Chains A and B, each alone.
Chain A
Amino acid sequence: MTRKITYGEAVRESTDQCMGSDPSVYIMGLGVPDPKGIFGTTVGLREKYGEKRVLDMPVSENGMTGIAIGSALMGMRPVMTHQRIDFMLLALDQIINNAAKWHYMFGGQMSVPLVIRLLVGQGWGQGPQHSQSLQSIFSHIPGLKVVMPFTPYDAKGLLNSSIQNDNPVIFIEHRWLHGLFGEVPEESYNVPIGRARIAKEGKDITIVSSSYMTLEALKAAGYLINDKIDAEVIDLRSVRPLDEKTIIDSVKKTGRLMVVDGAWRFLSISSEIISIVVENAFSALKVPPCKITFPDFPTPTSWALSNHYYPRAIHIINQAQELFGLPQKNEEESGFPPAGPLDVPDKSFTGPF
């Protein structure tokens, strides 16, 4: 049996192996060489690769992104990390005006092999400015690639592919996934950017999800078997480029589509997926497609309100039950009694962020 490690360890191992095999790879971010090492994902790298290639950085997100871009033009392969995606908004000029366009606007003569690792917070009072899910903003921009792996296996394989890719890649990690265990080969391998994964095969409904929401989707799909609903769960892995074919093929098979998107509803990845399916497989749809998202307002901070903001398995289950004309039962009736406050992934998570 393959070795099992956590998602965070998989990210660290990918970085380590990429730095080991390619001297142009370097990693930079606030806290990268500190004792906590970005939730363990960069621990030990400075000792192994030195101060020049494993850098802390000034709190200058925009400037430092530009500096990473400039170094990438010279053949370096920077990996930038931000402990929360929200800070990266300071660098939108560099990401959108420069990184995303440099190859195109200079006629294909230079490219920007840059990876920006962005962590999405959830719960424990992260609140309006520490828990945003901004994948649709980045995915809107031609010239960027956006990946958001769910499994430890994909985290390692996609980070490898991202670092080796010659273009800017936004690598989104949900904070609740860092402790997730999974099978990860020790040797280096690649998961291609732009390919979705069928996380569970099924024939009655296609549930499309990404990152942490795939966990909730799989929980829901497991339960729905009780209702004789055989759901197919597609884990997107990449959102730009989007694996349209895998989604369309699945909907043609199941005739039903539910998109579970850990983000706001309006102009979201889920909106785009529904649009693509309606344009390409309208006649296959037996019922209107639907989506499960965050409500269109900022994340409330109080832990007591988390339950009323983040969708989870029961919402997916109830939505599916509605599509199939079945009675909708609450969490307790469905055998999902809340184990405690829902602002943590599990009881082992005790904060502080």
Chain B
Amino acid sequence: MPSSKKNKNLFEGSRKELSYSLLYDMLRIRLIEEGIGDLYPEQDMRCPVHLCIGQEAIPVGVCSSLLKEDIVMGNHRSHGHYLAKGGDLKAMMAEIYGKATGCSKGMGGSMHLVDLSVNFLGTTPIVASIIPVAVGTAFASWMNNENRVTVIFLGRAATEEGVFTESLNFASLKKLPVVFVSEDNLFSVYSPLSERQPSERDNVAIAKAYGIPGARGDGNNVQTVYELAQTAVNHARAHQGPYFLELETYRWREHCGPNFDNDLGYRSENEYQEWKQRCPVGNFEKLLLDTKIIEKSQVEQMRKTILQEFEEAVDFAKSSPFLDPGEIGKNLYKEKDLNPV
């Protein structure tokens, strides 16, 4: 585990504000995900939810390196990506509750999040399927000589799909402005890496074989993630082509749903406890407190603000209407001439 930067605050002084916002954004994702987990047993969120508790540093560290016009796409576990890019919380909660006010009008649910106003262009759960779509957005930027960068968040298991390397190949061929962010949380559902990839496998080397620079780092250290993302995004924005990041992390809850599932036996309690020690939110909070960047009361205020915002979003979602059943087939095609004759 890389730990060289563990006790050092890279963001002292002029980057104090950045430190503050990194903590706030991570804490916000943590509390919202925990809030979803708490409410899920009410049986009103009737769709799968894949919580990213324990993985908050990656969306926050990466998205803090982006501009509003930059594009982000994600996967089934993307509440954090959506929120970190600035996606509307009320619309996300309404979507999870299946309401017409949801970000996809209730047609998508937790796994199909979108907020075009911040260029968060969508998430899908078919592993790796969205990677080339994200590369395609970068292809459009390239064709139109735009200066925006696309970030695609994928789980490490997605690198096992053929379409991942198809995407690397074309992105490198055209030097497209896209950053691949592979989140390595060790499992695909309950299947460990050891059952899926040879131990010699090195995804950074695979990217390099396609002519794409990359790095692997501690995905639970938001400073590390931020620094790596800066390098990656700057590289892409400078028209130098794609960049690949693989970040180590760990999900605390079950693959899908609100519960803890160590009792299943697919991972050990020890392993889980070790990773909890590497809590991305708690450790960064402690660092900022220890280095006097923030005070305890400020963290308390953050929590209050976030919980208040979450409560309002849940109220909004719960009180919103469902889509009129008469509109159920309305968005099959975009057009006027639905009726062919």
Hey, which bits of chain A sit against chain B, CB under 8 A? 26, 52-53, 57-58, 60, 62-76, 93-94, 97-98, 102-111, 142-143, 145, 165-167, 192-195, 238, 241-246
Contacts and interface: CB of A to CB of B under 8 A. Distances in A.
Interface string B150-165: 0000000000001100
B167 interface: yes
Given A71-B137, A246-B341, 20 more contacts: A63-B170, A64-B132, A64-B166, A66-B136, A70-B134, A94-B133, A98-B124, A98-B133, A103-B333, A105-B108, A106-B112, A106-B122, A108-B330, A143-B332, A145-B333, A166-B335, A167-B333, A167-B334, A194-B340, A238-B340
Nearest to A145: B333
Nearest to A104: B331
Interface string B114-137: 101000011010100111111111
Given A60-B170, A68-B136, A103-B334, A109 B143 contact: no
A194 B163 contact: no
B141 interface: yes
A97 B129 CA distance: 8
B276 interface: no
A65 B337 CA distance: 26
Given A60-B170, A166-B335, A194-B340, A67 B143 contact: no
Determine the interface band of chain B, counting residues with CB < 8 A from chain A. 35 or more
Interface string B204-234: 0000000000000000000000000000000
Interface stretch (B14-22, B36-44, B98-106, B262-270): B98-106
B335 A52 contact: no
Given A63-B166, A74-B141, A94 B108 contact: no
A176 B100 CA distance: 49
A58 B132 CA distance: 13
The 3 closest A-B pairs by CB, nearest first: A70-B136, A66-B132, A194-B340
B139 interface: yes
Nearest to B136: A70
B52 to A, nearest CB: 21
Contact of B132 (A70, A72, A106, A194): A70
A62 B126 CA distance: 13
B163 to A, nearest CB: 5
B331 A62 contact: no
Nearest to A57: B170
B203 interface: no
B169 interface: yes
Nearest to B152: A70
7 contacts: A52-B143, A58-B166, A69-B136, A70-B134, A98-B129, A105-B108, A108-B330
A339 B173 CA distance: 50
Contact of B129 (A60, A66, A72): A66
Given A71-B140, A103-B331, A238-B340, A66 B108 contact: no
B31 interface: no
B107 interface: yes
A171 B341 CA distance: 20
B140 to A, nearest CB: 4
Nearest to B95: A107
Contacts of B331: 103-104, 107-108
Contacts of A238: 340
B40 to A, nearest CB: 22
A74 B73 CA distance: 13
A63 B334 contact: no
B143 A26 contact: yes
A105 B107 contact: yes
Contacts of B103: 107
B244 to A, nearest CB: 16
A60 B169 contact: yes
B259 to A, nearest CB: 27
B102 A63 contact: no
Contact of B105 (A108, A195, A241): A108
Contacts of B131: 66
A242 B169 CA distance: 39
B167 to A, nearest CB: 5
A5 to B, nearest CB: 27
A221 B197 CA distance: 61
B332 A104 contact: yes
A242 B340 CA distance: 8
A97 B136 contact: no
B333 A143 contact: yes
Contact of A69 (B112, B133, B144, B166): B133
Of A71, A75, A243, chain B has the most CB atoms within 10 Å of the CB of A71
B334 A108 contact: yes
Nearest to B164: A63
Contacts of A194: 337, 340-341
A241 B337 CA distance: 11
Nearest to A59: B166
Nearest to B330: A108
Given A58-B169, A243-B340, A107 B102 contact: yes
Contact of A193 (B134, B162, B340): B340
Contacts of B139: 67, 70-71
B112 A71 contact: no
A116 to B, nearest CB: 14
